[in-house]
Structure 1
Amino acid sequence: MGKKRVTSFDVAKRAGVSRSVVSAVLNDTPGIGVGAETREAVLEAIRELNYHVDAGARSMKTGKSMTLAAFGDTRHPLFTRLLEGMQRECELSGYHILLCSPRHKGNANGRAELLELYHQRKIDGIVTLDHTSYGDLEWAAKIEAAGIPYVSVEGYAEVPGVYSVLADYSGSVETALNYLLREGSAQQPGPAYAEIYHGDSADNWAERNRRDAYTGWCKAHGLQPVIIQLDEQQGDWAGCLQQLAADNGRPYAPLLVNWSSAIPDLYRAAHKLGLRIGEEVRIMAADNTIQGHRLSLPSLSCVEIPYVSMGEEAVCCLLKQMNGVMEKEQADKIWLPAILRAGESA
Structure 2
Amino acid sequence: MRQVGKRVTSADVAQEAGVSRTTVSFVLNDRPGHAIPEETRQRVLEAARRLKYRPHASARALAAGHSDVVLLALPDMPVGAGISRFCEEVATALADRGLTLIAHFARADDQSLQDVCAAVDASAVIGLDAFEQTTVQALHSVGVKVVIPSGGHAPSMRHVGQVQAEHLIGRGHRHLGYAMSTHAGHLPMARHRLQGAADACAAASLEPPVVIGVDLEIAAAEQAVRQWASQSVTGVCGFNDDTALAVLAGAREAGVRVPQDLAVVGADDVPTAALSLPPLTTVSFDLGEAGRHRAETVASALAGHILVSDGVPVAPELIVRSSS
TM-score class, shorter: 0.7 to 0.9
Equivalent residue for 1:318? 298
Change (3 A) 1:35 1:311: closer
Instruction: Give the Å deviation of 1:337.
Output: 2.1
Distance in 1 (alpha carbons) for counterparts of 2:73 and 2:154: 16
Select the residue among 170, 173, 179 that pairs with 2:161. Answer: 173
Distance in 1 (alpha carbons) for counterparts of 2:11 and 2:187: 62
Asked whether the 8 Å contact 1:228–1:240 carries over to 2, the reply is no
Distance in 1 (alpha carbons) for counterparts of 2:192 and 2:108: 30
Which deviates further from its counterpart, 271-280 or 302-311? Answer: 302-311
Which deviates further from its counterpart, 70-79 or 276-285? Answer: 70-79
Q: Does 1:229 align with 2:211?
A: yes
Instruction: Give the Å deviation of 1:32.
Output: 1.6
Asked whether the 8 Å contact 2:161–2:197 carries over to 1, the reply is yes
Alignment map for 1:36-185 (pairs within 5 Å): 36-47=38-49, 49-72=51-74, 76-77=79-80, 78-102=82-106, 104-105=108-109, 107-108=111-112, 111-117=113-119, 122-130=121-129, 136-146=132-142, 148=144, 149-153=146-150, 168-182=156-170, 185=171
1:303 partner SS: strand
Equivalent residue for 1:261? 242
% identical equivalent positions: 20
Asked whether the 8 Å contact 1:294–1:300 carries over to 2, the reply is yes
Q: How many residues align?
A: 314
Distance in 2 (alpha carbons) for counterparts of 1:22 and 1:143: 34
Task: Kindly provide the amino acid, as one letter, of the partner of residue 117 in structure 2.
Answer: L
Asked whether the 8 Å contact 1:166–1:310 carries over to 2, the reply is no
Asked whether the 8 Å contact 2:175–2:235 carries over to 1, the reply is yes
Equivalent residue for 2:177? 193
Asked whether the 8 Å contact 2:179–2:212 carries over to 1, the reply is yes
Distance in 1 (alpha carbons) for counterparts of 2:182 and 2:51: 60
Q: TM-score scaled to structure 1, two decimals?
A: 0.75
Q: Does 1:243 align with 2:230?
A: yes
Distance in 2 (alpha carbons) for counterparts of 1:103 and 1:94: 29
Select the residue among 265, 284, 292 that pairs with 1:284. Answer: 265
Asked whether the 8 Å contact 2:163–2:197 carries over to 1, the reply is no
Change (3 A) 1:92 1:58: closer
Distance in 2 (alpha carbons) for counterparts of 1:326 and 1:283: 44
Instruction: Give the Å deviation of 1:86.
Output: 0.6
Distance in 2 (alpha carbons) for counterparts of 1:103 and 1:209: 22
Distance in 2 (alpha carbons) for counterparts of 1:321 and 1:276: 52
Q: Does 1:343 align with 2:321?
A: yes
The gaps in structure 2 that reach 5 residues or longer are: none
Task: Kindly provide the amino acid, as one letter, of the partner of residue 170 in structure 1.
Answer: R
Asked whether the 8 Å contact 2:237–2:244 carries over to 1, the reply is no
The structure whose residues are more often helix, as a share, is: 2
Distance in 2 (alpha carbons) for counterparts of 1:269 and 1:43: 62
Instruction: Give the Å deviation of 1:85.
Output: 1.8
Distance in 1 (alpha carbons) for counterparts of 2:228 and 2:77: 35
Change (3 A) 1:12 1:226: closer
Asked whether the 8 Å contact 1:293–1:342 carries over to 2, the reply is no
Q: Could you list the per-position Cα deviations for residues 270-306 of structure 1 after superposition, in whole angstroms to 9, with x for gaps in the alignment?
A: 2233222123322112x23754522421111011355
Distance in 1 (alpha carbons) for counterparts of 2:110 and 2:53: 43
**Which structure has the larger Rg?**
1
Equivalent residue for 1:249? none
